[in-house]
Amino acid sequence: MAPFKTLAALALCVSTAAGFAPVSPAAKVVSATELSSSAYDDIQKEWESEWPQFAKWGWGPSVQAEKWNGRHAMFGWVFICATAYAKGHGLIPDAASTLDLKEWGTLATISGKYTITNERAIVLIANAHFFAVSLLATICPLPFSDPLLLDPVNDNYEKTIARNNEPFGYLPEFKTGLTEEAEILNGRMAMLGLVTLIFATAIEQKPMLDIVNEWIGGNYY
């Protein structure tokens, strides 16, 4: 019984003394946004020091580049869904027929072995056309749109550069409507979706349109 009383007395003394122990300062809690902003600043400064000729025009790790990457990804999804709809509703003429080698020559083959179908040729031509339109929109934008390449002599150059120095972080604030936050979130989801689609078609060895059609329950065709 004596050892038990001794242990109880020691525990009481320790607990009492703990109340007079100095309190260590509370550690500062760093949010994910602050952490990502700090990492972003370091990467951006490193990029500007190594590639100043590109950083001057807004290329590299910047809010401007993320916006345009997201826009192209969203446009890609619109094109993919439109192509799947056209395929499912018979809007592509003679989709299953192959191209005539006498008319198209080597353009009708893949790696000189297989002849492509009329459907694939139309999709390739449409992709090339929309890519050209998108490229021109980034280099030669309309007056009401923002350019991909920043012009140092433009009136809004300093404003855009200042915006690039304020990243959105891992998870931007949720704001609906025509806002920068909504555009960034939609663009990120579109880019992530395209990466997932590429991995899916590589693993399952199926065309992208077939995989997208499966994802929506076969509603396209």
pLDDT tens, residue by residue, 22-42: 434 444 444 444 545 567 667
**Which of the residue ranges 3-7, 30-34, 146-150, 190-194 has the most confident prediction, judged by mean pLDDT?**
190-194
**Rounded CA gap, 195 and 192, in Å?**
5
Higher pLDDT, 213 or 118: 213
Position 67 pLDDT exceeds 70: yes
> What pLDDT score does 40 carry?
66
**Which of the residue ranges 3-7, 30-34, 117-121, 186-190 has the most confident prediction, judged by mean pLDDT?**
186-190
> Burial, 120: exposed, middle or buried (Cβ in 10 Å; 0-12, 13-18, 19+)?
middle
> What pLDDT score does 48 carry?
78
**Lookup: tokens for 11:** 């525990």
Average pLDDT in the 191-213 region? 92
**Rounded CA gap, 169 and 185, in Å?**
11
Per-residue confidence band for 112, with pLDDT thresholds at 50, 70 and 90:
low
Nearest to 58 by CA among 70, 72, 44: 44
pTM for the whole structure: 0.66
What is the CB-side half-sphere exposure of residue 59 using CA atoms within 13 A? Answer: 9
- For residue 121, the one-letter residue type is A
